Chain A
Amino acid sequence: GQSLEQPSEVTAVEGAIVQINCTYQTSGFYGLSWYQQHDGGAPTFLSYNALDGLEETGRFSSFLSRSDSYGYLLLQELQMKDSASYFCAPQDDKIIFGKGTRLHILP
């Protein structure tokens, strides 16, 4: 079967660092994508890990361990505009979205 686990909510302070963890179980797996979605908006692609290790894109980094079926998204120097929902998305021939993690940023 398929399953996806990430925290439902995370709260952090502006300027801080936050890590959103994800564990998954899927039948097929090419890699792990991360998407950001603001209320009423579209999923915006943030990062993709096809191989184990860390991928860095500006303030955002993503990590994957295939053997552990685990990944995380690291957001640094948090800004108020980072308040949104974040989705880890195991990818095979389609994306399976979970309920995501709602990130609240406090000033």
Chain B
Amino acid sequence: EPEVTQTPSHQVTQMGQEVILRCVPISNHLYFYWYRQILGQKVEFLVSFYNNEISEKSEIFDDQFSVERPDGSNFTLKIRSTKLEDSAMYFCASNADSNQPQHFGDGTRLSIL
């Protein structure tokens, strides 16, 4: 069964550095999403992406964050000048249409030191 894949599984970065989290959505899916989950808290929506542009973003998704579809398969989340509070699990998800269920990758655990 096709699945969403995310790399790396764990990223450790010094505060202030930039990180790029990578995702390969399911191949025939057109809608892409990033969510995050701070340890012990609920999963929070960050951003949705369709047709090479952001469809919606939450208030968490400020100027520190950006997303890109650099080629036909990858979908990336860039976090500039990371802060301690950016430490969380980051999940990528995709679906074939916005009214279809979303499928999640296994996540990237981001640890900011």
Given the known A-B contacts A97-B43, A99-B42, A100-B42, are A42 and B102 also in contact in the complex, defined by CB atoms under 8 Å? no
Given the known A-B contacts A41-B106, A43-B91, are A93 and B56 also in contact in the complex, defined by CB atoms under 8 Å? yes
Taking the complex as formed, is B25 at the interface, i.e. its CB lies under 8 A from any CB of chain A?
A: no
Nearest CB of B to A47, in Å: 8
Which residue from chain B places its CB closest to the CB of A43 in the assembled complex? B104
Which residue from chain A places its CB closest to the CB of B97 in the assembled complex? A30
Nearest CB of B to A46, in Å: 9
Nearest CB of A to B24, in Å: 15
Nearest CB of B to A32, in Å: 10
Q: How many A residues touch the partner, as a band? A: 20 to 34
Taking the complex as formed, is B2 at the interface, i.e. its CB lies under 8 A from any CB of chain A?
A: no
Taking the complex as formed, is A95 at the interface, i.e. its CB lies under 8 A from any CB of chain B?
A: yes
Tell me the residues in window 38-65 of chain B with beta carbons closer than 8 Å to chain A beta carbons.
42-45, 48, 55-56
Tell me the residues in window 31-47 of chain A with beta carbons closer than 8 Å to chain B beta carbons.
31, 33, 35, 37, 41-45
Residues B55 and A93 in contact, CB atoms below 8 Å apart: yes
Q: How many B residues have CB within 8 A of the partner chain?
A: 22
Taking the complex as formed, is B75 at the interface, i.e. its CB lies under 8 A from any CB of chain A?
A: no
Given the known A-B contacts A31-B99, A43-B91, A43-B104, are A97 and B44 also in contact in the complex, defined by CB atoms under 8 Å? yes
Taking the complex as formed, is A72 at the interface, i.e. its CB lies under 8 A from any CB of chain B?
A: no
Residues B103 and A45 in contact, CB atoms below 8 Å apart: yes
Residues A43 and B45 in contact, CB atoms below 8 Å apart: no
Given the known A-B contacts A42-B91, A94-B48, are A33 and B105 also in contact in the complex, defined by CB atoms under 8 Å? no
Residues A91 and B102 in contact, CB atoms below 8 Å apart: yes
Taking the complex as formed, is A17 at the interface, i.e. its CB lies under 8 A from any CB of chain B?
A: no
Tell me the residues in window 78-102 of chain A with beta carbons closer than 8 Å to chain B beta carbons.
87, 91-100
What 13 new A-B contacts, CB under 8 Å, besides A94-B33, A94-B48, A95-B33?
Answer: A30-B98, A37-B43, A42-B89, A42-B104, A45-B101, A48-B100, A93-B98, A94-B56, A95-B43, A95-B45, A96-B45, A99-B42, A100-B42
Please list the residues of chain B having a beta carbon within 8 angstroms of any beta carbon in chain A. Answer: 33, 35, 42-45, 48, 55-56, 89, 91, 93, 98-107
